[in-house]
Chain A
Amino acid sequence: MKHLLGVADLPAEDIDRLLTLTDSFAEVSRRRMPKVPALQGRTVTWLFYEDSTRTRLSFEQAAKRLSADTLSFSVSTSSVRKGESLRDTVETIEAMGVDCIVVRHRSAGVPHQIAGWVSASVVNAGDGWHEHPTQALLDCYTIREHLGGLDGRRIAIVGDVKHSRVARSDAWAFTTMGAEVTLVAPPTLLPPSTEGWPVRVSHDLDGVLADVDAVYLLRMQQERMTEALIPSLREYTACYGLTRRRVDLLGDKAIVMHPGPMNRGVEIAADVADLPRSVVIDQVRNGVAVRMAVLFDLLGSGRDLEAK
């Protein structure tokens, strides 16, 4: 692979290869000295036009554990403020000799655009409402770790699907790997059309919970409140929040997932987030290993061969 721009067009073999590679990097992370020289001499840089804590730190930790050099760049304190165009910024950064650019941008398609401009590898770390491929991979990995695989597993994705790139990437990745996905949300928080999506849609969370192996809660984006898409947060929690009562509807082995940051008391009850079946912390931990696998796949293995 040269770039990782999305999972929608990633075949099952590629996802499977990356997840298997992740096993090895998870082992590296457990070592006394969790660092390997695999990407010595490669440089990774971040181009984040949107706020991020965990994704940014997770990529940085992954790159450092692979011995890659990292160049930090903060859009808010850079020449972007002075009106530099995206293309000029990207070409300037590339001219300094970077091998990989990790991009997050509020507009869908920006990573694809950048990939067409540069010879470095591009990783999409979230573009608008479109895709967040490394999140989907770490979610697949976490499900595989806890449920033994994805094939035939039933997964409910609950909440603000409309504005969620995580929901899109997860829906594609989970179904590519053979899982059955049900989107659960009020009609106003679903995309205008889910035609062409390999998913089922429901508006009744209670009716879905008994039959799923994993329930994936999306962050309720409080800034959406101004758009009057739901009557109130309290009403949302009453209908779609994972409360203690609803947890009891789940099967014994079903797990609870959340991409973070959590709004405790909104989409997930405060005590539910700390139950043993909540794997949120595992998701974060696996994120580092998955991103190591992605960076190694793009920048390491056989890379100079392809360049020739």
Chain B
Amino acid sequence: MAERERRITPPFGGVFVARTQVLDADDVRRALWRMAHEIVERNHGLEDLILIGLQTGGVAFAAGLAEALAKINGEAPPQGTLDVAFHRDDIGLRPVLPTAVTDIPTDLTGQVVVLVDDVLYTGRTIRAALDAVHTYGRPRAVQLAVMVDRGHRELPIRADYVGKNLPTRRDEMVNATLEGVELGELRKEGR
């Protein structure tokens, strides 16, 4: 999510230009499949488990994980989506607007919440998400699944399920979708 916002926000604005394709659509599908197995293994099934995709990049991956979990376990776990805009720590520093209305179908008290995002970078989005989750109840546990972990954490946060560990430079950018994962950079417009 942070990645996407950086792209549209001054003074970071610009256009994403891909340099390398890191994963293709099949690789992403296989990674999701493996992560789904890890989720089932670690939680001994899917009881009381809910997937929450972070707006906007995590939502598609949460749906992909739910689909894989349904094939493994016979039934998909409940899903929700979360927009962390109002919980961010940089609200005054740049325009922060929610991209969608949060939809969390149940009280999270006693549930195992698996947060799903596209790219884990500074960890600030996840910090905001942890804060947001607690306004919906007190989960038994919160776990984190990301398609790409690109490093450069600014907070003590780590992922439980990772599609791909991808070492990057800070000035690079990662674009992760169900169609694949690309590494590239932001080009300022007009240059």
Contacts and interface: CB of A to CB of B under 8 A. Distances in A.
A24 B98 contact: yes
Interface in B90-106: 91-98, 101-103
B45 interface: no
Nearest to B107: A32
A305 B85 contact: no
A196 interface: no
Contacts of B91: 38-39, 300-301, 303
Given A32-B137, A33-B134, A24 B95 contact: no
Interface in A234-290: none
A303 B95 CA distance: 8
B135 interface: yes
A32 B132 CA distance: 11
Interface string A32-50: 1111111100000000000
A21 B85 CA distance: 11
B53 to A, nearest CB: 16
A96 B178 CA distance: 52
Contacts of A195: none
Contacts of B185: none
B107 A301 contact: no
Nearest to B103: A27
A28 B93 contact: no
A302 B136 contact: no
A46 B10 CA distance: 33
Contact of A37 (B87, B101, B136): B87
A24 B84 CA distance: 11
Contacts of B98: 21, 24
B172 interface: no
Contacts of A21: 97-98
Given A24-B83, A28-B86, A305-B93, A36 B102 contact: no
A94 interface: no
Contacts, number: 63
A304 to B, nearest CB: 4
Contacts of A28: 86, 135
Interface residues on B, range: 20 to 34
B26 interface: no
A301 B135 contact: no
Contacts of A66: 86
A24 B85 contact: yes
Interface string B113-125: 0000000000000
B186 to A, nearest CB: 19
B131 interface: yes
Given A31-B135, A32-B107, A301 B97 contact: yes
Contacts of B85: 24, 38
A143 B95 CA distance: 28
Nearest to B108: A32
Nearest to B102: A27
B136 A32 contact: yes
B92 A23 contact: no
B143 to A, nearest CB: 21
B135 A32 contact: yes
A28 to B, nearest CB: 7
A23 B136 contact: no
Interface of B: 10, 83, 85-87, 91-98, 101-103, 107, 131-132, 134-137
30 contacts: A21-B98, A23-B101, A24-B83, A24-B85, A26-B101, A27-B103, A31-B135, A32-B136, A33-B134, A33-B135, A34-B135, A35-B135, A36-B86, A36-B87, A36-B132, A37-B87, A37-B131, A38-B86, A38-B87, A39-B91, A296-B86, A301-B92, A301-B96, A302-B93, A302-B94, A303-B91, A304-B92, A305-B92, A305-B93, A305-B94
Given A24-B85, A28-B86, A38-B85, 10 more contacts: A21-B97, A23-B101, A27-B102, A32-B107, A32-B135, A33-B135, A36-B135, A37-B86, A38-B86, A302-B94
